[in-house]
Structure formats: structure tokens, C-alpha cells
Structure 1
Amino acid sequence: MDNLPREIIVNILSRLPIKPLIRCKSVCKSFLNLTRDPYLINTHLNHASSHNEENPTLILHTTTISYSFNQFRSHLYYATQTPTNSFSCEQIHFISPLNINEFRVLGSCNGLLFLLHPTIDGRVSVINPSTRKLIEIPNLMAGKSSVGMGIGFSPKSNEYKVVKVFDWSALYVYSLSKGIWREVGAPSFKISGDLKSNVCVNGVVHWASDSPSNSIVCFNVADEVFDVIPYPAGGLRQGGFSLAVFSGCLGVIEYEENNCIDIWVMKDYNVRESWTRSFTINLKNQFWWDCKDVQVLCVQKNGEILMRYRNQELWFYDPKNMIFRKPSIFGFPHSFEAVCHVGSLVSPSDEDISKPKSMKTK
């Protein structure tokens, strides 16, 4: 390996799944340093993101009560799809500097998970579950509730930021690379208040909006300005909806009152006419199901839709043949929440968050 050009080594390592890539850190000091190289980090992330629809990785979150200590304890798990379309589950062990036992997962961005600790005045943290690196974000306005949160990455500024909106009257941004909170002004739009309904696309964090209606509130991470994106022409029905990302495009999952789920995708970003109803999940034949109990997780490359049902089961849906299929699962917790995730080497701390360096040969 020492005789290979650095570009070839990076090309090989960037195609590895995240777990064997993490193990490369233990091979030698040069490999350890290489896994910290921003060029490899970005190359691996781009490759993993482009192939995630073939074999999606899920992060599962569950909270149980410890009766001996009379307290709640949250856990994270990796759920990976096998070549036989079954799922295996592995717990993620990490240590929080503040020994925080309970948390919620509010989102995933480029391998980083955004966690909310509801029992400690809304404190938040960011963790890469693959590398186990975690940072606690300094508390802000303790005791005051947030109506919107999110984590976003801007390719323009190459920066990760955490966003908090308070009572529609103030917005604060925390830069992971600079390590400070800053107030950037108040939005003139109302966010729905569902803290988990946020996604980052094209360097912009999005939330569902109550006002103006039929629109999505968005915050540009690089320019730090608010805007709105309209829903499809004619608006959405009254059954409820959530936001998602499909193949790098902004998506809306619409829950209709007739027990159907429509998946809308904005093919061209911020172009209202590009909204397309790409899939419809008809639950009428699943006579015991209610669409409100279904969470659409992702659309796979083969066209099948992966869903979570009632916090307890995973299902595939083939929209072409309108067939539901339940995969075999191993080691799953009894009840869980789920978020689609891309394993990466991205660090939540500023030690590895910098602009990609040019490749240098030996």
C-alpha cells in the first residue's frame, strides 16, 4: 500500500462501508491520519450518499424506563439491510460528557445526528454514531420553548449549523466550526411546531409552515436568510403531511383522509411547477392500518418504499404491483423511532470541519 499513489488509496477507501473504514484507523498511523483528511471525508460521503438508496441504513431510537433507578434511558441502534432484504440491528454505545440518559433524534445530516435532551431545558447535542464523536451544544435561553430546530450543511460555506427558532420572535444559529450562538433575526413566517419535521436540502433547512399556508418555511444556512417554498399547485389535503428527502430532492409525504399516502417530489428545487406526485401508497387493502401509523422512510433504487408501522415493524411496499412485504428483522427493539442515515467520517467538532484540501502525492 505504501507504493500506491495517495489518490488511489483514497479512491479505494472512499468506496468502503463506514464500519470497515473506521477499522482502518487501527491499521497504522498513516491510515489514522488519512481518515481525518477532509478530502477523504468528503469523497466517502459523496459516494455513500449516492449509493444509500441501494441498501439504506437506518438509525433506530428507543427510550425505556429503568425501574431500579426510576428514570428513562434512550438508546441508538444501527439497522442495516442485508443482501437477502432482511435487517439486522446493532446497538450504538457512546458516552455523553453530561451523562444525559434521555434524548430524542430530531434529524440526520451527512452522518451527524441532531439530539434533543428534553429533560434539561431543551439542551441539544450533535453526534456521529459511526465515530462515536459527540459534542454538547451550549445551552441557550433555558426554560424558553423552541418552535423550530434543525441542523443543516451549506456546500457554499462548507459549514454545519444548528438552528433554533423561539416563539416566532427570535432565531439563533450555532456554527459547529466556530462554536458560538448568534442571533440572526426573527422569521416573518410561522413554523408548524413539529420539531422532527425538518430536512436539509441544497444547503437549506426546511420546516412545514402554518402561515403562510400551503408553503414550506426555509432557512438558507450560508446566507442566514428566511424564505418560503410553495406546496404543489392546489395545495395539500387536510389529512396531514411531513417533509422528507428523496434522491437529494425535497419531498412532501401527504396523508390523505381516504387512507392513502402520496409522495410528492420537487424535481427542480424551488420551482413550484416541478412538484410531482411520484408515488401513492394505497392502504385500503391493509384494512387494519391507519395511514397516521405509517412513517415513510425512503424510496429504494428498485422502486420499493421502506416504511415503519406503529413504531414496531418495517415493511416494504411495491407501488407497481401494490404489494406489501414484511422483511425479516433481527435484534430490533420492541418499539422504536427511525431515521434514514448515511454513515460518514464527518466530525461534529471543529477539528475535522474544514475546507477540502488538495490531494498531494508522496
Structure 2
Amino acid sequence: MLDSWIDLTSDKFEALPPPSDAKERRDFTLLVIGGCLGLAQNLTGGSIEMWKSEKDNTKQSWIKSMTIMNLKILPYPHSLVPICIMKKGEVLIAYSEYVRVFVMVGKPRKYQLYDSDKGTFRRLKVGGKRHRVVTHMESLISPNSDGL
């Protein structure tokens, strides 16, 4: 369960409960959705629920971003983990025959791109034996700045 997050503008940790509409209260994966913190949850290989964090003037909350269905047509549906949403709306999804272990120990990974408009998957071929996906967000503000 996600218990807290850090607000870089105020340098404070704040409590952030999981989404209220989550079917289960465990096994969330952090990712980037539209430049914001996101959560994903693989529901026993049947679907993946995704939420985007949004903050209004008073509190931080989760807004359901998307549900990815029909995971059973892919290999190893229980190990599918979304990494990020690309600029054109496609979701980069990693998977391995080793359920969820590959994130920690570097087991071989494969990738799918999910087209949210068409509801289709496309295998992404990555050359080489060793590779890593890293998400980042461009910013002109340093996380070390004092809020100039």
C-alpha cells in the first residue's frame, strides 16, 4: 500500500492513501502518467487498472486514467507491469516469465505497446541481452532548489 509521498515544492511528506475505487488494496506499481505520479494494478492477469494523481488546492487524489483489458491474449499476463504512457497515448508494458521478480533481479524482459485508442497490443522488439527502461520528466526546477 502506498502510504506517503513527498511534495518537492514544500519538502514535506504527505499521506496518500490508495485509490478509493481500487479493487484490491495491494500490489501497486508506480509509473508516470502525463507527467504526474501514477499507479497501476494488475488484477490477476485479467486487466490492469491505472490512476493518475491530481492535486487541487486542498488535497491529493487519484483519478482513474485507464483500464487495459484482454491481458489473457498476451504471454505471462500475471507479470505485465506498465512502465509509462507514451506521448501518443500508447502504454509501454514490460513482462517476463518470472512473475514480478524481473523488476528486482534483472531477469530478461520483453515489452508490449498497448494502443489505448484501438485496444490492441504490439510487441516491441529491443535488441541486446541487457537493457533497462527508465522514465523521466523534464523540468527547469531542480529537486535541490529552495523554491526560488
TM-score clears 0.5: yes
Contact 1:255–1:262 under 8 Å retained in 2: yes
| Cα distance change, pair 227–268 in 1 and its aligned pair in 2 (3 A) | closer
**TM-score, normalised to structure 1's length?**
0.31
2-side partners of 1:354 and 1:221: how far apart?
9
Counterpart secondary structure, 2:129: coil
Counterpart secondary structure, 2:64: strand
- Aligned partner of 2:102 in structure 1 is none
**TM-score, normalised to structure 2's length?**
0.67
Contact 1:307–1:314 under 8 Å retained in 2: yes
1-side partners of 2:140 and 2:55: how far apart?
29
Contact 1:296–1:308 under 8 Å retained in 2: yes
User: Residue 284 of structure 1: which of 63, 72, 94 is its match?
Assistant: 72
Structure with bigger helix share is 1
1-side partners of 2:14 and 2:49: how far apart?
25
User: Residue 304 of structure 1: which of 90, 93, 99 is its match?
Assistant: 90
1:251 paired to 2:38: yes
Structure 1 segment 101-250 matched on structure 2, within 5 A: 208-209=1-2, 216-221=3-8, 223-237=10-24, 240-250=27-37
Taking only the aligned residue pairs, the percentage that are identical comes to: 27
| Cα distance change, pair 252–236 in 1 and its aligned pair in 2 (3 A) | farther
Deviation at 1:254, TM superposition (A): 1.1
Contact 2:32–2:135 under 8 Å retained in 1: no
Contact 1:239–1:257 under 8 Å retained in 2: no
Contact 1:239–1:256 under 8 Å retained in 2: no
Number of positions where the alignment pairs a residue of Structure 1 with one of Structure 2: 133
Any unmatched runs of 5+ in structure 2?
97-107
Any unmatched runs of 5+ in structure 1?
1-207, 210-215, 356-362
1:313 paired to 2:110: yes
| Cα distance change, pair 305–223 in 1 and its aligned pair in 2 (3 A) | closer
Deviations 1:66-120 (A, max 9, x none): xxxxxxxxxxxxxxxxxxxxxxxxxxxxxxxxxxxxxxxxxxxxxxxxxxxxxxx
Counterpart secondary structure, 1:308: strand
Deviation at 1:325, TM superposition (A): 0.7
User: Residue 55 of structure 2: which of 240, 245, 268 is its match?
Assistant: 268
- The residue type equivalent to 2:90 in the other structure is E
The two structures, once aligned, show a CA RMSD in angstroms of 3.3
Higher relative contact order (CA 8 A, sep 6+): 1
1:334 paired to 2:122: no
| Cα distance change, pair 335–239 in 1 and its aligned pair in 2 (3 A) | farther
User: Residue 324 of structure 1: which of 111, 121, 139 is its match?
Assistant: 121
Q: Structure 1 residue runs of 4+, over 6 Å off?
A: 343-348
1-side partners of 2:139 and 2:60: how far apart?
31
Bigger radius of gyration, 1 or 2?
1
